[in-house]
Amino acid sequence: MIKYDYGNSDYTIAGSDNGLNISEAFVTYKDRIAEIITDLNKRKDKPGQFLQWMNLGYSEETVWYVKEFAALVENRFDNILVLGIGGSALGGIAITEALLKPYWNFLSKEQRNGLPKIFFLDNIDPDSISGLLDILDLKKTLVNVITKSGDTTETMAQFMIVKDRLEQVLGDNYRRNIVATTDKRTGILRQIAEQEGYKTFVVPDDVGGRFSVFSAVGLLPLALVGIDIDEIINGIKDMDLALKNTDINQNIAAQNALIHYLLDVRKGKNISVMMPYSSKLRYFSDWYAHLWAESLGKQYDNDNNVVNVGSTPIKALGVTDQYSQLQLYNEGPNNKIITFIRVENFDTVVEIPKIFEYTGIGYLGGKTINDLMNAEADSTKVSLTDYKRPSVTVTLPKIDGYHVAQLMYMFEVQTAIAGALYNIDTFNQPGVEQAKNYTYALMGRAGYEDSAQNFRSKISV
Ligand code: PA5
């Protein structure tokens, strides 16, 4: 199992102005936390609660269909192209980056064991879209278009471009190169998929985008590039079992949720820095930033009071950002909690050769890059502590499907518990609607004429 250590957020180490009396907090919040965990588990099967993500580890049917399809298309495609945005892309990006061999798309077919390359288009930058379409052989590309709502502007615009290009190169056979992941019944993509006869997968009811990584949204792209999804499922299940424990002393997601919440409301640490010491986990931070920001940043609480709460996620990468952001973290405003993600055993051990022994860098010779990476994580953590900056550490024994799934599921549960502590709706995102409405208005979607007028009255340039 992954390990969690909160010691450097305790007042005995971080000081009483910036750290918490954690054992006292656990006693004070013991009942509240037990109540929240019990409530989440009680409500998770009820429609309309948006808690179905807690059941995804047990969805044997999805796993079966995903594996069946992956086996069916094995060896047919050289590329997988995923179209999606937000929760429809970030989980897949995070896990493929973590679990595939580094520089996967640069490896030869033999080095990839015949498995396809994978590309995610999660933006609508015209240059990157056309650049990618210029290099992909679309005849050998399987396009997985993913959108739960079925009408997300960016995803559907990409899809319209890609579908048109597919048709140009494949004629009537283009449908065989498309698989759509969307709502079971509703939405424009569902309607198109049925009319056109695409193979489809379902985003289950009551699973929001940022909690959908373990549905077909994430599992299908993973299976298509040969990632062992059983390992992932086992990781979720074991973590789910551990996190059903209502005792805060035994539940690491509850501990981390409470520590983040209290450091925010009591000590003004309203910025949450995610800093994995692993390049493979670089995009885990993007996924986390979406999950944490969109779930917790809310104007109203559940009693309709204006609260404007939330903790701002920041993405950092160890050690790279020691040379970019650490100065601010140590000496700037003391308003952050840093989460270190550590890896005990990397897949490879890289030795630093014993050369230049006569110079000041000679001390590095004979050590490993692995030692250096972990020494840097420890040094950064202790230097933050010297400046009285609180931090927590999550340690993965290694980067594999089992532990990465545990990590992500832990943060999903942590987010749900934090949302309950803030007394907000963790699963909605009303704050992103207005910008979408203005975009519809600017692009001439029928029914958004008022938004267009409203927009014109407020734009300054
Ligand atoms: O978390 C969410 O629900 C959102 O961020 C969605 O993932 C995002 O808006 C994309 O939505 P859709 O899958 O409907 O295209």
- Evaluate the omega torsion of the peptide bond into residue 82 and state whether it is cis, within 30 degrees of 0: no
Residue-averaged pLDDT of the chain: 97
Are 274 and 336 spatial neighbours (Cβ–Cβ below 8 Å)?
A: no
**CA–CA separation, 408 and 402 (whole Å):** 10
Residue 123 Cα to ligand 1 middle (Å): 13
- Residue whose Cα lies nearest atom 3 of ligand 1: it is 209
Q: For each of the domains in the chain, give its residue range(s) and CATH number, in order of start.
A: 3-43+245-422 (3.40.50.10490), 52-232 (3.40.50.10490)
Across residues 168-188, what is the average pLDDT? 97
Residue 91 Cα to ligand 1 middle (Å): 12
Number of alpha carbons in the 13 Å side-chain half-sphere of residue 213: 29
pLDDT greater than 90 at residue 453: no
Would you call 220 helix, strand, or coil by DSSP?
helix
Residue 212 Cα to ligand 1 middle (Å): 9
Alpha helices in 297-358 (DSSP H): 326-331
Residue 146 Cα to ligand 1 middle (Å): 10
Q: Which residues line ligand 1 (CB under 6 A)?
A: 85-88, 147-149, 152, 155, 208-210, 294, 429
Across residues 238-266, what is the average pLDDT? 98
Lowest mean pLDDT among 180-184, 322-326, 399-403, 443-447: 443-447
Give residue 456's pLDDT band: very low, low, confident or very high (50, 70, 90).
Answer: confident
Give residue 212's pLDDT band: very low, low, confident or very high (50, 70, 90).
Answer: very high
Sheet with 199-203, strands from edge to edge, namely 117-121, 79-83, 141-147, 178-183, 199-203
- Residue whose Cα lies nearest atom 8 of ligand 1: it is 86
* Residue range 380-409, pLDDT digits in tens: 999 999 999 999 999 999 999 999 999 999
pLDDT greater than 70 at residue 254: yes
For residue 393, the cross-strand partners are 5, 340
Are 116 and 77 spatial neighbours (Cβ–Cβ below 8 Å)?
A: yes
Q: Which of 53, 181, 210, 288 to mutate to test the pocket of ligand 1 (most atoms within 8 A of CB)?
A: 210
- Residue whose Cα lies nearest atom 15 of ligand 1: it is 147
**With left for phi above 0 and alpha for psi between -120 and 50, is residue 366 left, alpha or beta?**
left
> In the prediction, which pLDDT does 460 show?
77
* Residue range 59-107, pLDDT digits in tens: 999 999 999 999 999 999 999 999 999 999 999 999 999 999 999 999 9
256's tokens: 């981390």
CA distances from 100 to 234, 257, 350, 396, 403 (A): 18, 30, 19, 17, 14
DSSP 246: -
> In the prediction, which pLDDT does 452 show?
86
> In the prediction, which pLDDT does 393 show?
98
- Amino acid identity of 207? V
Residue 88 Cα to ligand 1 middle (Å): 6
**CA–CA separation, 148 and 383 (whole Å):** 44
> In the prediction, which pLDDT does 23 show?
98
**CA–CA separation, 30 and 26 (whole Å):** 6
Alpha helices in 297-386 (DSSP H): 326-331, 369-386
Residue 207 Cα to ligand 1 middle (Å): 10
Neighbours of 85 (CB within 10 A): 20
- Residue whose Cα lies nearest atom 6 of ligand 1: it is 209
> In the prediction, which pLDDT does 335 show?
98
CA gyration radius, the chain: 23
Across residues 173-177, what is the average pLDDT? 97
**CA–CA separation, 177 and 155 (whole Å):** 17
- Residues with Cβ within 8 Å of 78's Cβ and at least 6 positions away in sequence, in order, are 109, 116, 117, 137, 140, 141
Would you call 412 helix, strand, or coil by DSSP?
helix
pLDDT greater than 90 at residue 458: no
Name the pairing type of β-strands 312-315 and 3-5: unpaired
**CA–CA separation, 336 and 417 (whole Å):** 20
- What is the tally of helices (H) and strands (E) in the chain? 16, 12
* Residue range 125-149, pLDDT digits in tens: 999 999 999 999 999 999 999 999 9
E strand or H helix at 345, and its extent?
strand 336-345
**CA–CA separation, 54 and 306 (whole Å):** 29
pLDDT greater than 70 at residue 244: yes
For residue 289, the cross-strand partners are none
* Residue range 263-316, pLDDT digits in tens: 999 999 999 999 999 999 999 999 999 999 999 999 999 999 999 999 999 999
Give residue 461's pLDDT band: very low, low, confident or very high (50, 70, 90).
Answer: low
CA distances from 130 to 92, 134, 158, 243 (A): 22, 6, 10, 44
Helix, strand, coil percentages (3-state) for the chain, rounded to 5, are 55, 15, 30
**With left for phi above 0 and alpha for psi between -120 and 50, is residue 48 left, alpha or beta?**
left
Residue 26 Cα to ligand 1 middle (Å): 34
- Identify the residue whose tokens are 């240059």: 127
Residue 370 Cα to ligand 1 middle (Å): 37
E strand or H helix at 343, and its extent?
strand 336-345
pLDDT greater than 80 at residue 193: yes
Q: Which of 85, 159, 412 to mutate to test the pocket of ligand 1 (most atoms within 8 A of CB)?
A: 85
Residue 9 Cα to ligand 1 middle (Å): 33
Q: What pTM does this model have?
A: 0.97
Ligand 1 atom closest to Cα of residue 85? 10
Q: Which of 120, 148, 181 to mutate to test the pocket of ligand 1 (most atoms within 8 A of CB)?
A: 148
Number of alpha carbons in the 13 Å side-chain half-sphere of residue 269: 26
Would you call 358 helix, strand, or coil by DSSP?
coil
Sheet with 336-345, strands from edge to edge, namely 3-5, 391-398, 336-345, 271-276, 312-315
Ligand 1 atom closest to Cα of residue 146? 13
Q: Residue 11: which of 253, 311, 262 has the closest Cα?
A: 262
Backbone angles phi and psi of 224, in degrees to 5: -65, -25
- Residue whose Cα lies nearest atom 12 of ligand 1: it is 147
Residue 220 Cα to ligand 1 middle (Å): 17
Ligand 1 atom closest to Cα of residue 90? 7
Residue 211 Cα to ligand 1 middle (Å): 10
Q: Which of 50, 52, 152 to mutate to test the pocket of ligand 1 (most atoms within 8 A of CB)?
A: 152
Number of alpha carbons in the 13 Å side-chain half-sphere of residue 339: 28
CA 369 and chain centroid, separation: 27
Are 417 and 36 spatial neighbours (Cβ–Cβ below 8 Å)?
A: yes
Across residues 431-450, what is the average pLDDT? 92
Q: Residue 267: which of 5, 31, 10 has the closest Cα?
A: 10
